[in-house]
C-alpha cells in the first residue's frame, strides 16, 4: 500500500508546484566539506550520509576525486553526518544545525586509518566564523522564539534583538505583521518578508498578508547585507520565517496569554475629562500538535515518511479608542433656554439678544423660547443626542487637550477577535524527493467604534462591523536527481 500512496502524494504535490509561479528565493540551505586523510590528501569513493535526526530522513553521496561534498537544497533542521571509506575509521559529526538559507561549511573531514568497525565521533559546534558564504545574517532560533517575550505575540516584535535592526514601536498589537523600521541602515519598507521561502503577500513586500502564530515558528533568518543575487528582491533585509514541521515523536503545547485594563493606569487627559479607563483586553488562547501521520499495518509504519504540524489560535481583543470631544445640545437648549449657550470654541457665552423670533424679527425675551413655540418633533430629534457629560468648568463644559470647548466626550472600544490556523505536511517520498505543503489562515473581525471615521458614534447602527480573511498556501518540492543535478520547485 505504501507505493501507490507515495505515487499519489508525489504526483499531486508536483502537479501543484508545476502549475504555480516559480520563485528564486528558498528557505533551504547547503552543507559542504571535504574528506581528507591524515596527510591532507583527498579521499575519493568515501560514502557520506547526511541524516536529519528528528525525521530520520537520509541523503547519501560518494566523494569524487577532489574529496568535496556538497549537500544542496537541504531543509533547515538538526542533522548528523557520517563518512565511511575502506581502511579508514568511520567518522561521525553529530548535532549539526542548519538554519534557513545557510551555507554551512564543515571544513576538513579528516579520516583516521583503521577498521570500519571503529569510529570517531565529533560533537559539532556552530562555527564562530562563517566560511561557506559571504552574506551577513542573523538568526532567531526556536529557543529564542519560545522564551523571549514580545508584547503583541508578533514574531516581528523579536526583530530588534538582532544587530543592525531598528525598533519602531510595533509588536504591541496582535497581527501587526510588519517588518522593522530599518535594517542595516536601509528603511524597512525595502525589506522582503517570506514564509518558508515564499513571499508573505501578493505584493512581495515587507508585510505579511497572513500572519504566523509564534508557536508555529521554528526560526527566523534575517539576511542583513551582502547576500546572494537570488535574494535580490529587497534592498534592506531578507526576512525568512520558517514554520515548524512534524517529527517522528508527537509533540504538543497549549498556552494562554492575558492583558487587561486593570493592570494599566488611566491617561492624564482621560482623568481631566472625567473619562473612565477604556477596556483594553488582549487574550491569546491556542495549542499545537505535531508528529508522524501513520496507520499501523497500512501507511508510514516506520514513522519516517509523512509528518504533520498543526496550530490553532484564538485572539479575542478589545482596545480603547482615543477620546473624542463633541458639542451637543444642552438640556436647557432642548427646552428653549439659551441663556447659558456657548457661542465659540473657547466657551464664550452666546448673547441672548441674538435668539431671534422668526415671526417678529425681534429677540425672544431673555433668550428663552416659549414652550408653545417649540415643535415637539424637533425636540424628539434633539433627544437623539446624549446629555452633556463634561465637567462643569466653563459654562457647562470644558476645554479639550487641543483647546477646543466641548461638553460631551466619548472614548468607546473596538473589538477585534481573530483566529490563526496553520497546518504543514512534510512527505519524504524517497531519499531523492522531499515535498512539503503549508496552509495558513488568519481572520479577524473588527466591530465597535473607531476614531478613523468622523460620525456621530452614539447613533445606533453606526458602529464598524467587518471581517478580513487571509488564506495562504505554499509548498516546496526538492528533487535530487544526482549529486550534481537537483531541482527545487516552490509555489
Q: Say if residue 290 is in the same domain as residue 435.
A: yes
> What are 285-332's pLDDT values in tens digits?
999 999 999 988 888 888 889 999 999 999 888 777 777 888 889 999
262 and 303 share one domain: yes
Whether residue 411 has pLDDT greater than 60? yes
CA 305 vs CA 3, 71, 367, 433, 490: distances in Å:
12, 20, 88, 11, 20
265 and 307 part of one domain: yes
Q: Tell me what percent of the residues of the chain surpass a pLDDT of 90.
A: 27
Distances 470 to 282, 302, 306, 317, 466 between C-alpha atoms, Å: 21, 36, 27, 18, 14
Q: Would 340 be classed as within a structural domain?
A: yes
Per-residue pLDDT averaged across 7-17, rounded? 48
Domain assignment present for residue 448? The answer is yes
Asked if 334 and 389 sit in the same domain, the reply is: yes
Average pLDDT, the chain: 81
Share of the chain above pLDDT 70, in %: 84
Same domain, residue pair 315 and 344: no
Number of structural domains (the chain) is 2
Assigned domain for 317 exists: yes
Domain boundary among 405, 424, 442: 405
Model confidence at 244: pLDDT above 90 = yes
Q: Is residue 110 part of a domain?
A: no
Quick one: cell of 371?
414652550
300 with 428, same domain?
Answer: yes
User: Of 405, 436, 455, which marks where a domain is finished?
Assistant: 405
Cβ-contact 397, 342 below 8 angstroms:
yes
Q: Evaluate whether residue 261 is within a structural domain.
A: yes
- Whole domain around residue 310: which residue ranges? 251-323+413-476
pLDDT at 451 over 60: no
Mean pLDDT of 37-42: 92
Render pLDDT for 374-400 as a digit per residue (tens, 0 to 9): 999 998 888 888 888 888 888 888 888
Amino acid at each position: 500500500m505504501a507505493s501507490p500512496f507515495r505515487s499519489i502524494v508525489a504526483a499531486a504535490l508536483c502537479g501543484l508546484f508545476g502549475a504555480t509561479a516559480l520563485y528564486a528565493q528558498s528557505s533551504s540551505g547547503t552543507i559542504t566539506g571535504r574528506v581528507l586523510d591524515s596527510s591532507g590528501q583527498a579521499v575519493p569513493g568515501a560514502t557520506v550520509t547526511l541524516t536529519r535526526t528528528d525525521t530520520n530522513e537520509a541523503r547519501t553521496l560518494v566523494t569524487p576525486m577532489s574529496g568535496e561534498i556538497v549537500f544542496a537544497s537541504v531543509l533547515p533542521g538538526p542533522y548528523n553526518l557520517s563518512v565511511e571509506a575502506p581502511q579508514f575509521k568511520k567518522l561521525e559529526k553529530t548535532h549539526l544545525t542548519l538554519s534557513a538559507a545557510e551555507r554551512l561549511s564543515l571544513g576538513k573531514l579528516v579520516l583516521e586509518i583503521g577498521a570500519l568497525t571503529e569510529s570517531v565521533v565529533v560533537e559539532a559546534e556552530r562555527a564562530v566564523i562563517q566560511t561557506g558564504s559571504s552574506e551577513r545574517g542573523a538568526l532567531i532560533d526556536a529557543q529564542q522564539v519560545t522564551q523571549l517575550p514580545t508584547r503583541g505575540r508578533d514574531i516581528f516584535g523579536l526583530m530588534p534583538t538582532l544587530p543592525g535592526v531598528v525598533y519602531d514601536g510595533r509588536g504591541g498589537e496582535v497581527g501587526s505583521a510588519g517588518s522593522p523600521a530599518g535594517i542595516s541602515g536601509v528603511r524597512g519598507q525595502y525589506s522582503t518578508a517570506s514564509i518558508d521561502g515564499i513571499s508573505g503577500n501578493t505584493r512581495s513586500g515587507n508585510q505579511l498578508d497572513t500572519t504566523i502564530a509564534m508557536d508555529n515558528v521554528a526560526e527566523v533568518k534575517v539576511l542583513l547585507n551582502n547576500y546572494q543575487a537570488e535574494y535580490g528582491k529587497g534592498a534592506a533585509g531578507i526576512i525568512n520565517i520558517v514554520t515548524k514541521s512534524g517529527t517522528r515523536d508527537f509533540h504538543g503545547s497549549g498556552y494562554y496569554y492575558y492583558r487587561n485594563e486593570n493592570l494599566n493606569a488611566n491617561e492624564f487627559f482621560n482623568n481631566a475629562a472625567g473619562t473612565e479607563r477604556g477596556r483594553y483586553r488582549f487574550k491569546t488562547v491556542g495549542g499545537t500538535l505535531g508528529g508522524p501521520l501513520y496507520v499501523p499495518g497500512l501507511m508510514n509504519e516506520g514513522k519516517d515518511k509523512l509528518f504533520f504540524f498543526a496550530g490553532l489560535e484564538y485572539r479575542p481583543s478589545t482596545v480603547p479608542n482615543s477620546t473624542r470631544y463633541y458639542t451637543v445640545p444642552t438640556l436647557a437648549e432642548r427646552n428653549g433656554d439659551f441663556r447659558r449657550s456657548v457661542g465659540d470654541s473657547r466657551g464664550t457665552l452666546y448673547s441672548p439678544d441674538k435668539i431671534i423670533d422668526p415671526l417678529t424679527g425681534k429677540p425672544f425675551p431673555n433668550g428663552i423660547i416659549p414652550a408653545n413655540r417649540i415643535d415637539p418633533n424637533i425636540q424628539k430629534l434633539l433627544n437623539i443626542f446624549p446629555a452633556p457629560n463634561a465637567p462643569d468648568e466653563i459654562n457647562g463644559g470644558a476645554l479639550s487637550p487641543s483647546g477646543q470647548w466641548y461638553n460631551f466626550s466619548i472614548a468607546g472600544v473596538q473589538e477585534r477577535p481573530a483566529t490563526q490556523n496553520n497546518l504543514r505536511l512534510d512527505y519524504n517520498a524517497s531519499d531523492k524527493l522531499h515535498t512539503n505543503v503549508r496552509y495558513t489562515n488568519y481572520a479577524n473581525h473588527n466591530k465597535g467604534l473607531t476614531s478613523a471615521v468622523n460620525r456621530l458614534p452614539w447613533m445606533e447602527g453606526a458602529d464598524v462591523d467587518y471581517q478580513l480573511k487571509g488564506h495562504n498556501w505554499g509548498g516546496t518540492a526538492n528533487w535530487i536527481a544526482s549529486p550534481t543535478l537537483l531541482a527545487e520547485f516552490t509555489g
